[in-house]
C-alpha cells in the first residue's frame, strides 16, 4: 500500500514535470507564431491545446525508466534533458496523430472534436463544406509538419555528449522510418493495395504503434542515462512485445469496448475498414461472407455496426486476438529473463516493465 501510494505520487510528480515542459515548448514558439497573424496563431494554440490532451503514456514510461536506470553519466543535467526528450516524444506522438487523422478522415479524438474538427468549426458555419474540410485538413498537415520539426529540434539540441547525441538521432531516425512504413502499409491494406494476411497485419501493427510508443521511450531512457547499447537492445525487444500487446488490446477495445471510455468514434475502425488482427482472423473464418458486406462501409449505421461486432465475436475473432495478446505478453516476460551476469536487466528496470504490463490488465481506454 505504501509502495502503491509512493508510485502514485511519483507518477503525479513526473506528469507535472512533463506537462510543464510541454507548456514551455509551446509557449516559446507561441511568441514566434504571433508574428504570422491571428489564423496561424490560432492553429498553434489549437495544436498546443490538443497536444496536452493525452494520457502522457510515452513520456511517463520514459521518465520512470530513466529514474529506474539511475545515471551512469557524470553530468546531473541529463535529468532535465530527459524531461525535455520525454516531452519531445509526446510532441512526436501528436504530430503522428495529426497526419493519421488526416489520412483516416477522422474528426474525433479522445472523445471530442480533434484539431481538424475544431479548425473547421472555428471558421465555418457549414463545417462539412468542401472549403471547411480543406482548410481544416490542410491546417492539420501543416501543424503536423511544425511538430515533427519541433521534435527534431528538441532531439538535435539535447545537451548531451556527442556520442549520446548520435544515438538519440539514430533512434529518432529509426523510429520515424518504422512508424511511417507501418502507416503506409496500413493505408495499403485499407485501400486494397496490399494483401491483408495476418502476418502483414501484425507486422504493420508493431511498426505503426509499438515502435514509437514503447521502444522509443525505453531506448531514449537508456541513452540519456548513459546505458549500454546491449541494454538498449534488450529493452527494445521487451518494448516491442509489450507494444504489440498494447495495440492489439487497443484494437479489441475499439471494436468490443466501451466507446465512451476509449474516446474514439464508436465502431470507426469498422466503418473505415481498418485492417486489424480481428479482421484478418474473421477473413479466414466461415463467417466472413456475412461480415464482408458491412465491413468498410462509411455509412454503416450504429445498429448494423453492433451486429457486425456480434458476428466478429461469435466467429472467434475476439478470443483469437486475446490469445495473441497472451502470446506477446509471454514473449515479453521471457525477454526479461537473465541472459548472463553482464547483460542482465537491473531489478528496478524490470519492475517498471512488469508494473506497466500489470496495468494493461482490465484497461478500458
Residues in touch with a second copy (CB under 8 A): 29, 32-33, 36-37, 39-40, 43, 99, 102-103, 123-124, 131-132, 134-135, 138-139, 141-142, 144-146, 148-149, 152-153, 155-157, 166, 169, 172-174, 176-177, 180-181, 183-185, 187-188, 190-194, 207
Shortest distance in whole angstroms from residue 104 CB to a second copy: 9
**Cα separation, 303 vs 309, whole angstroms:** 10
Give the nearer residue to a second copy in terms of CB position, either 57 or 194: 194
Residue closer to a second copy (CB basis): 24 or 173: 173
Q: Tell me whether residue 265 is exposed, middle or buried, using C-beta atoms within 10 angstroms of its C-beta: 0 to 12, 13 to 18, 19 or more.
A: middle
| Distance (Å) of CA 90 to CA 2, 54, 77, 313, 322 | 30, 8, 21, 34, 28
Question: Is there a contact between 270 and 309 (Cβ–Cβ < 8 Å)?
Answer: yes
Q: Which is nearer to a second copy, 205 or 249 (CB)?
A: 205
Residues 6+ apart with CB under 8 A from 327: none
Least separation in angstroms between residue 66's CB and a second copy is 22
Residue 22 C-beta: closest distance to a second copy, Å: 18
d(CA 90, CA 348): 24
Grid cell locating 71: 545515471
User: 32 or 72, CB closer to a second copy?
Assistant: 32
Q: Minimal distance in Å, beta carbon 114 to a second copy?
A: 16
Q: How far apart are CA 224 and CA 79, in angstroms?
A: 8
Please identify, using beta-carbon distances, which residue of 39 and 292 lies nearer to a second copy.
39
Q: What is the smallest separation between the CB atom of 365 and a second copy, expressed in angstroms?
A: 27
Amino acid at each position: 500500500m505504501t509502495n502503491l501510494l509512493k508510485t502514485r505520487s511519483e507518477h503525479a510528480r513526473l506528469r507535472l514535470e512533463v506537462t510543464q515542459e510541454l507548456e514551455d515548448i509551446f509557449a516559446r514558439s507561441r511568441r514566434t507564431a504571433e508574428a504570422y497573424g491571428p489564423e496561424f496563431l490560432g492553429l498553434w494554440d489549437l495544436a498546443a491545446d490538443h497536444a496536452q490532451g493525452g494520457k502522457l503514456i510515452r513520456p511517463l514510461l520514459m521518465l520512470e525508466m530513466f529514474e529506474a536506470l539511475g545515471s551512469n553519466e557524470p553530468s546531473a543535467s541529463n535529468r532535465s534533458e530527459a524531461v525535455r526528450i520525454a516531452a519531445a516524444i509526446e510532441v512526436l506522438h501528436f504530430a503522428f496523430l495529426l497526419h493519421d487523422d488526416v489520412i483516416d478522415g477522422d474528426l474525433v479524438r479522445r472523445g471530442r472534436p480533434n484539431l481538424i474538427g475544431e479548425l473547421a468549426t472555428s471558421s465555418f458555419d457549414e463545417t462539412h463544406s468542401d472549403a471547411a474540410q480543406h482548410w481544416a485538413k490542410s491546417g492539420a498537415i501543416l501543424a503536423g509538419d511544425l511538430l515533427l520539426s519541433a521534435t527534431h529540434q528538441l532531439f538535435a539540441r539535447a545537451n548531451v555528449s556527442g556520442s549520446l547525441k548520435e544515438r538519440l538521432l539514430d533512434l529518432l531516425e529509426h523510429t520515424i522510418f518504422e512508424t511511417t512504413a507501418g502507416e503506409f502499409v496500413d493505408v495499403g491494406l485499407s485501400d486494397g493495395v496490399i494483401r491483408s494476411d495476418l502476418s502483414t497485419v501484425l507486422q504493420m501493427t508493431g511498426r505503426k504503434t509499438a515502435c514509437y510508443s514503447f521502444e522509443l521511450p525505453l531506448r531514449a531512457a537508456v541513452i540519456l542515462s548513459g546505458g549500454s547499447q546491449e541494454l538498449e537492445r534488450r529493452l527494445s525487444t521487451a518494448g516491442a512485445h509489450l507494444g504489440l500487446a498494447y495495440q492489439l488490446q487497443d484494437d479489441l477495445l475499439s471494436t468490443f469496448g466501451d466507446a465512451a471510455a476509449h474516446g474514439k468514434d464508436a465502431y470507426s475502425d469498422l466503418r473505415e475498414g481498418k485492417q486489424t488482427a480481428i479482421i484478418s482472423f474473421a477473413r479466414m473464418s466461415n463467417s466472413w461472407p456475412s461480415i464482408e458486406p458491412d465491413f468498410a462501409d462509411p455509412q454503416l449505421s450504429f445498429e448494423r455496426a453492433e451486429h457486425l461486432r456480434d458476428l466478429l465475436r461469435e466467429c472467434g475473432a475476439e478470443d483469437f486476438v486475446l490469445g495473441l495478446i497472451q502470446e506477446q505478453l509471454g514473449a515479453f516476460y521471457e525477454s526479461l529473463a537473465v541472459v548472463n551476469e553482464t547483460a542482465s536487466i537491473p531489478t528496478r528496470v524490470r519492475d517498471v516493465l512488469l508494473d506497466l504490463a500489470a496495468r494493461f490488465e482490465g484497461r478500458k481506454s
